[in-house]
């Protein structure tokens, strides 16, 4: 009977040691996150006791490997490395159940991030570096924030394409002498400032052209002297050109009126008048001829 009691006590002691060891490993691995820890076989234990702890250690190992693999890929993604994938086959065995689902989900996430990054990079290179407008990012299967980001990139590319093409259209028209076009594309910020600047330029050029045409028509075609071009708000070269046109019209008005005054006096028999207006070139020759005739 005593032998039975001693044997039972030994079994109970080993069972208690086994429970303590399993609790210790559960705390270290499950709560402290030390994934390398394993259950140690109590001294003198073998057979069924050893198999129990081997099963526990095998469970820890099977849980650790997929978790470590997922963590490796997520860490790579966080560091900007989108070339890593979760291995769904470990030690020659395909992972099963939740581990397979989680690994597949992470891999799909990496694929979508890869596609998103590649498409955004392509559109940015085409539009920003190569100057090829009209490009759009095409990322299949994305939703949520990734869909919003894709739409934002495409919206930016579309707006920039419309704005630049409209600016190019108006600039080309101005270069060809067509001052009837304006930039109409929606714009904000610095693009809006550029839009307003170009439209103001077109307005000023149109006003300048209209005024120069009017003065030239009045003086050169209709013979109406004294006209002056009035182009508000111009500066620089446009101001100089306006002043030159007005100076030409003013000189021509003074010269023609002076010549008319003298020739009218001659026609009336008054030879006391001479042309005094400043003149150059052929007008000067005409001035000298008339003044010589008077003398």
Q: Give domain limits for the chain.
A: 1-81, 85-186, 189-295
Share of the chain above pLDDT 90, in %: 21
Q: Average pLDDT, stretch 24-31?
A: 68
Model-level pTM greater than 0.85? Answer: no
Rounded Cα–Cα distance for residues 136 and 154 (Å): 5
pLDDT band of residue 162 (cuts 50, 70, 90) is very high
- In the block, which residue shows the tokens 């299949």? 140
pLDDT for the residue 96: 81
End-to-end CA distance of the chain: 167
Tell the residue number behind the tokens 């079994």, with chain if given. 11
- Tens of pLDDT, residue by residue over 171-181, are 999 999 999 99
Q: How many Å separate Cα 107 from the centre of its chain? A: 29
Residue written as token pair 């190019």 = 168
Burial of 170 (0-12, 13-18, 19+ CB in 10 A): buried
Calculate the dihedral angle through the C-alpha atoms of 171, 176, 182, 184, rounding to the nearest 10 degrees: -60
C-alpha dihedral, 282 to 283 to 289 to 293, nearest 10°: 160
Instruction: For the beta carbon of residue 53, count every other beta carbon within 10 angstroms.
Output: 19
3-state secondary structure of 36: coil
Task: Name 94's bridge partners.
Answer: 89
90 pLDDT tier (thresholds 50, 70, 90)? confident
| Cβ-contact 264, 231 below 8 angstroms | no
- What is the per-residue pLDDT across 259-271, written as a single tens digit (0 to 9) for each? 888 888 888 888 8
Q: What is the mean pLDDT of the chain?
A: 83
Q: Which residue carries 């596609």 as its tokens?
A: 115
To 10 degrees, what angle do helices 48-78 and 97-124 make? 10
Query: What gap in Å lies between CA 238 and CA 171, rounded to an integer?
Result: 17
Residue that has been written with the tokens 């609790």 in this structure: 23
């Amino acid at each position: 009977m005593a032998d039975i009691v001693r044997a039972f006590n030994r079994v109970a002691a080993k069972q208690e040691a086994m429970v303590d060891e399993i609790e210790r490993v559960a705390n270290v691995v499950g709560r402290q996150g030390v994934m390398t820890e394993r259950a140690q076989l109590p001294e003198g234990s073998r057979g069924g006791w050893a198999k129990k702890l081997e099963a526990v250690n095998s469970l820890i190992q099977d849980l650790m490997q997929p978790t470590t693999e997922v963590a490796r890929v997520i860490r790579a993604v966080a560091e900007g490395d989108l070339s890593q994938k979760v291995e769904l086959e470990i030690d020659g065995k395909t992972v099963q159940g939740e581990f397979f689902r989680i690994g597949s989900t992470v891999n799909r996430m990496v694929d979508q991030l890869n596609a998103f990054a590649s498409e955004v990079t392509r559109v940015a290179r085409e539009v920003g570096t190569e100057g090829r407008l009209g490009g759009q990012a095409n990322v299949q299967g994305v939703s949520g924030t990734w869909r919003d980001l894709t739409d934002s990139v495409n919206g930016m590319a579309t707006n920039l394409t419309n704005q630049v093409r409209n600016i190019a259209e108006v600039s080309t028209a101005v270069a060809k002498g067509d001052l009837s076009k304006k930039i109409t594309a929606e714009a904000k910020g610095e693009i809006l400032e550029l839009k307003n600047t170009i439209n103001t330029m077109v307005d000023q050029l149109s006003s300048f052209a209209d005024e120069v045409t009017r003065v030239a028509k009045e003086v050169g075609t209709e013979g109406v002297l004294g006209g002056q071009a009035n182009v508000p708000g111009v500066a620089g070269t446009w101001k100089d050109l306006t002043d030159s046109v007005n100076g030409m019209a003013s000189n021509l008005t003074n010269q023609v009126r002076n010549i008319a005054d003298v020739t009218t006096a001659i026609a009336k028999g008054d030879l006391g008048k001479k042309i005094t207006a400043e003149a150059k070139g052929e007008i000067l020759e005409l001035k000298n001829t008339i003044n010589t005739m008077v003398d």
